[in-house]
Amino acid sequence: MKEETRRGTTFTRRSLLKGMVAAVATAISMRPSRDSSAHDFHGYDSNRGVLVDLTRCIGCRSCEVACSQEHGLAPPDGMLENYQPLEPQYRETRRPDHQAFTVVNQYQSPLYDHPLFKKTQCNHCLEPACLTACFVNAYTKTPEGAVIYNESVCVGCRTCMVACPFSIPAFRYDSAFDAQIMKCNFCFDTRLSKGRPPACVEACPMEALTFGYRDELLKIARKRLRDLPGRYHREIYGEFEAGGTSWLYLSPVPFEEAGFDTRVPRQPILHFVKDFLAVVPMVLTIWPGLFAGIYLLAKSNKTADNTTSKEDKSDETIER
Amino acid sequence: MRLEWYQLSLGIIVTICSFVAGEPLATELNRKVPEMVVLDSLSNLYEGVSFDHALHDSYASCVECHHHVAGQPSADPACSSCHRSGTVDIVVDCKSCHLTDPFYGDLLSAKRNLSRYHIDMTGLIGAYHLNCLGCHLALTTGPTGCLDCHQRKRNDSLPQGINGTHEETE
């Protein structure tokens, strides 16, 4: 009996199982700390943003012109000579692409007697899905709040386009050698990094776009909801959507009436994959060693069994 | 019967007195009120906007544009909670309160002060357009097109221009 236990300390099935349980337990115990560290991020304190007030926008598309000039893109279709809100070309729903980082679409709601204009561009999420989806770290969330993109490391996998809940990143397909993701960068290089508002905000004649710190914009939005009851739908789009966005919206009608996607989840997109992603390092680092160990032990056990089988049998018979 | 006559005469005297007391203020204001104002903050891109102040004086009351600085209490409850009685300020022009650059860094930082009330004051361009267009569209009178108010400068060869963006590209 004594001999058996001594042999057991070298390796028996029981000690092997113990080791496996211990390894899994350590792996699991390491996970909560990783989760909680990611949970605590609620955006930078210096995060700037823009409050878009749909009750003020008249659909002049000055923001589109300013954006195209700022980024050296082709000027938007149609002249802005006059304020003509019902021109047919505004009625189709466009989305930002490689030639226009921002677009204004017109919506007609039965709940509102005026046409509604919604400006669309990158919302610069507090926890961007594009950034977390990118495996070469081409995206950066700057302390100023901009989500910027580095084309020099991008491999062109376009995962960010799939990940974005607002369908913003666009790919420049028409250039074979200069293909890259094109999206609004909050005018980071030219303006935001110097503390200035983006070009679209400066161009807006109705001040439908208000630039400021995000926390301050939320206060301004709530002040408008309080001071002008009845003028607004009592919610701020972007306060919680996709975990919070830098661009916030006020609308006179429920947001789905004005072309907003209200199915966007309220927590960061990252939260849906975090549990899975937390397992990936464990699988990649622990499993190879663990299973290789099990394999080797099993193999050596077999050879040991062959040599010691006779002794074992004799021991067992004595005990019985 | 005699008492009623007494009350009536008292009422007349009070009315006349208040009229006389109010008169100097009104005349003083009327003297200062300009007939035409040229709004030229954007004159690097457009000709200044000629604003017929006398015409608008007949359409709207002073508070609708000058809030609480033109001698009458503001009609907006958000303003009148503090500015209960209207004061006649030395400067009553729009640009002395509504800034041409409402998003400069120091102001954005100052707005983060929790005790600050005026966090949502529009800039000059926004104030003009919101007030002018708001009224013109609601009353379906008055100019609403860009070029109705903003005359293009003759030497402007650029195809289209919106606010500061011309300057940037020039």
Statement: residue A8 has pLDDT above 50? no
* Domain assignment present for B2: yes
The CATH number given to whatever domain includes residue B44 is: 3.90.10.10
Q: How confident is the model at residue B22 (pLDDT cuts 50, 70, 90)?
A: very low
Q: Is B163 left (phi over 0), alpha (psi -120 to 50) or beta?
A: left
Statement: residue A257 has pLDDT above 60? yes
pLDDT, average across residues A213-225:
96
Same domain, B55 and B105: yes
Could you tell me if A96 and A103 are in contact, meaning their C-beta atoms sit under 8 angstroms apart?
yes
Same domain, B14 and B55: no
Same domain, B4 and B52: no
Inter-chain residue contact A207 with B130, CB threshold 8 Å: yes
DSSP letter for each residue of B96-158:
GTS-SSTT-HHHHHHTT-TT--------HHHHHHHHHHHHHHHTT-S--SHHHH-PBPTT--S
pLDDT, average across residues B11-29:
46
The amino acid at residue B26 is A
Could you tell me if A209 and B109 are in contact, meaning their C-beta atoms sit under 8 angstroms apart?
no
Range scoring the smallest mean pLDDT among A176-180, A243-247, A283-287, B70-74: B70-74
Whole-angstrom distance, CA of residue A223 vs CA of residue B73: 21
Of A237 and B60, the one with more pLDDT: A237
* Minimal C-alpha gap between B33 and chain A (Å): 27
Whole-angstrom distance, CA of residue A75 vs CA of residue A63: 11
Q: Which chain B residues touch A212 with a CB distance below 8 Å?
A: 103, 108, 111
Number of domains forming the structure of chain B: 2
Q: Which chain B residues touch A219 with a CB distance below 8 Å?
A: 119
Range scoring the smallest mean pLDDT among A84-98, A110-124, A273-287: A84-98
Same domain, B107 and B134: yes
pLDDT, average across residues B81-109:
84
The DSSP letter of residue A140 is E
- Polymer length of chain B: 170
pLDDT in tens, A30-48: 555 444 445 567 789 999 9
Inter-chain residue contact B146 with A82, CB threshold 8 Å: yes
Inter-chain residue contact A69 with B119, CB threshold 8 Å: no
Q: Residues of B numbered 123-142 whose beta carbons fall under 8 angstroms of chain A's beta carbons: which are they?
A: 123, 125-127, 129-130, 133
Whole-angstrom distance, CA of residue A67 vs CA of residue A75: 9
Same domain, B55 and B44: yes
Task: State how far the alpha carbon of B157 is from the alpha carbons of B45, B61, B170, in Å.
Answer: 11, 40, 11
Task: State how far the alpha carbon of A256 is from the alpha carbons of A111, A148, A180, A253, A263, in Å.
Answer: 12, 28, 31, 8, 9
Whole-angstrom distance, CA of residue B129 vs CA of residue A208: 11
Same domain, B21 and B104: no
Q: Which chain A residues touch B168 with a CB distance below 8 Å?
A: 69-70, 199
Whole-angstrom distance, CA of residue B133 vs CA of residue A60: 13
* Domain assignment present for B71: no
Q: What is the pLDDT of residue B6?
A: 60
Q: What percent of chain B has pLDDT over 90?
A: 18
Same domain, B11 and B49: no
pLDDT in tens, A135-150: 999 999 999 999 999 9
Could you tell me if A77 and A68 are in contact, meaning their C-beta atoms sit under 8 angstroms apart?
no
Inter-chain residue contact B108 with A223, CB threshold 8 Å: no
DSSP letter for each residue of A231-296:
TS-S--BTSSGGG-BSEEEE-SS-GGGGT--TTS-SS-THHHHHHHHHHHHHHHHHHHHHHHHHHH
Report domain extents, chain A: 48-268, 274-303
Q: What is the pLDDT of residue A318?
A: 53
Same domain, B55 and B5: no
pLDDT in tens, A47-104: 999 999 999 998 888 899 999 999 999 888 765 555 555 556 566 678 899 999 999 9
Statement: residue B169 has pLDDT above 60? no
Q: How confident is the model at residue A29 (pLDDT cuts 50, 70, 90)?
A: low
Same domain, B25 and B44: no
Q: What is the pLDDT of residue A178?
A: 86
Q: What is the pLDDT of residue A292?
A: 94
Same domain, B53 and B2: no
Statement: residue A181 has pLDDT above 70? yes
* Domain assignment present for B84: no
Q: Which of A157, A209, A240 is nearest to A53 (CA)?
A: A209
Fold of the CATH domain A48-268: Alpha-Beta Plaits (3.30.70)
Whole-angstrom distance, CA of residue B117 vs CA of residue B126: 19
pLDDT, average across residues A176-205:
94
Same domain, B45 and B10: no
Range scoring the smallest mean pLDDT among A118-132, A294-308, B2-16: B2-16
pLDDT, average across residues B56-84:
83
* Minimal C-alpha gap between B15 and chain A (Å): 36
The residue of B147, B149, B162 whose CB has the most chain A CBs within 10 angstroms, and thus the best one to mutate to test that interface, is B162
pLDDT, average across residues B30-59:
81
* Domain assignment present for B80: no
Could you tell me if A171 and A98 are in contact, meaning their C-beta atoms sit under 8 angstroms apart?
yes
Parent domain of B16: 1-32
In terms of DSSP H, where are the helices of chain A?
Answer: 2-10, 13-39, 62-71, 129-133, 159-163, 199-203, 214-227, 270-319
Query: Which secondary structure element, helix H or strand E, spans residue B77, and what is its range?
Result: helix B77-80
Q: How confident is the model at residue B150 (pLDDT cuts 50, 70, 90)?
A: confident
Q: What percent of chain B has pLDDT over 70?
A: 69
Same domain, B41 and B114: yes
The residue of A80, A207, A222, A225 whose CB has the most chain B CBs within 10 angstroms, and thus the best one to mutate to test that interface, is A207
Q: What is the pLDDT of residue A204?
A: 94
Mean pLDDT, chain B, rounded, equals 75
pLDDT in tens, A118-140: 999 999 999 999 999 999 999 99
Q: How confident is the model at residue A317 (pLDDT cuts 50, 70, 90)?
A: low
Q: What is the pLDDT of residue A279?
A: 86
Inter-chain residue contact B103 with A211, CB threshold 8 Å: yes
- Nearest Cα residue in chain B from A113: B138
Inter-chain residue contact B129 with A206, CB threshold 8 Å: yes
